Amino acid sequence: MNDIQRNLSTDEQLTLLKRGVVDLVSEPDLKERLTRGTPLRVKLGADPTRPDLHLGHAVILRKMRQFQDLGHKVIMLIGDFTATIGDPTGKSKTRPPLTLEEARANAESYLQQCRLVLRQESEVLEVRYNSEWLEKMGYKDIIQLASRYTVARIMERDDFRKRFEGGVPISVHELLYPLTQGYDSVALEADVELGGTDQLFNNLVGRALQRDYGQEPQIVMTLPLLVGLDGTEKMSKSLDNYIGITDAPHLMFAALMKVPDALMPNYFTLLTDLPEGEVQALLAGHPAAAHEALARTVVSWLHPDADLDSALERYRAVAKGGIPENIPSVTVPAGEVNADGQVSVARLVALAGLEPSNGAARKLIQNRGLRLNGEVYGDPQGLWTLGADGVVLQKGKDKFMRAVLEG
Residue 395, marked binder = no
C-alpha of 21 from chain center: 17
For helices 139-146 and 172-188, the axis angle rounded to 10 degrees is 90
Are the beta carbons of 56 and 236 closer than 8 angstroms?
A: yes
Nearest Cα to 405, choosing from 374, 375, 384, 382?
Answer: 384
**What stretches of 112-218 adopt beta strand conformation (E)?**
125-129, 192-196
> Any residues with CB less than 8 A from the CB of 138 and at least 6 apart, and which?
none
Q: What CA–CA distance (Å, rounded) separates 152 from 212? A: 17
Q: What CA–CA distance (Å, rounded) separates 199 from 193? A: 10
> Any residues with CB less than 8 A from the CB of 105 and at least 6 apart, and which?
51
> Any residues with CB less than 8 A from the CB of 36 and at least 6 apart, and which?
none
Are the beta carbons of 209 and 185 closer than 8 angstroms?
A: yes
Cα-only R_g, the chain: 25
Binding-site entries: 237
Binding-site entries for ATP: 237
